[in-house]
Amino acid sequence: MMNPLSLKGFYQVGGAVLLLLGILGFLLGGTPNAPGLFGQTGGILGLWLTDGENYAHVFLGLVALAALYVPGLNTALAPFLKWIAVLLGVVGVFFGVYSFVPLGAPLFPSATPLGAGALNTFGVAHLGLVDGVIHLVVGAWALYVSLMVKGDAMMAKKM
């Protein structure tokens, strides 16, 4: 079994989960008139996955899995996987913190109170409390696994 606290495990588990989440978001997202499990009007745990989020999840999941399993691409990306995980960690923490910013805060003009179900994140996504916690956890996970890798040479050996 792959260790999810290793760099390879992060890409395997994270990539598979993102890909699955994106696909389920498209299949079960629903519409305002026909709510789905991840729809605007009461998704699972309050998650509302927009098409923009679903595309991002599918893309990131495919890239993560391809970085490990596509011959040629995996060797080309191996020296950079640690730094890609750092970038993903920083982005995850950013969106995690951003989701806790009150709507209409002056530093975040895109987070305007447009009503229930508003796209409060740069006009493409709706991030709520559960989204924020998930992004913080995944961001911390990415930063942890990237900091556990000693260096590029060690990372290539661990892969």
- Average pLDDT, consecutive stretches of 10 residues, N- to C-terminus, the chain (159 residues): 85 94 81 56 64 89 94 92 93 87 51 48 68 88 88 46
Query: 89 lies in a domain?
Result: yes
Selection from 92, 89, 127 nearest residue 108 by Cα: 127
Report the predicted TM-score, pTM, of the whole model to 2 decimal places: 0.75
Query: 27 lies in a domain?
Result: yes
d(CA 144, CA 62): 22
Range of the domain at 98: 7-158
What does residue 113 show for φ and ψ, rounded to 5 degrees?
A: -75, 95
Instruction: Identify the DSSP state of 1.
Output: -
Q: What pLDDT score does 25 carry?
A: 82
Query: 82 lies in a domain?
Result: yes
Query: 1 lies in a domain?
Result: no
d(CA 149, CA 83): 10
Ranges of beta strands (E only) in the chain are none
Q: What pLDDT score does 118 carry?
A: 61
Count up the domains in the chain and report the number.
1
Query: 2 lies in a domain?
Result: no
CB-based contacts of 11, cutoff 8 Å, min separation 6 = 64, 65, 67, 68, 81, 85
Q: What pLDDT score does 46 carry?
A: 62
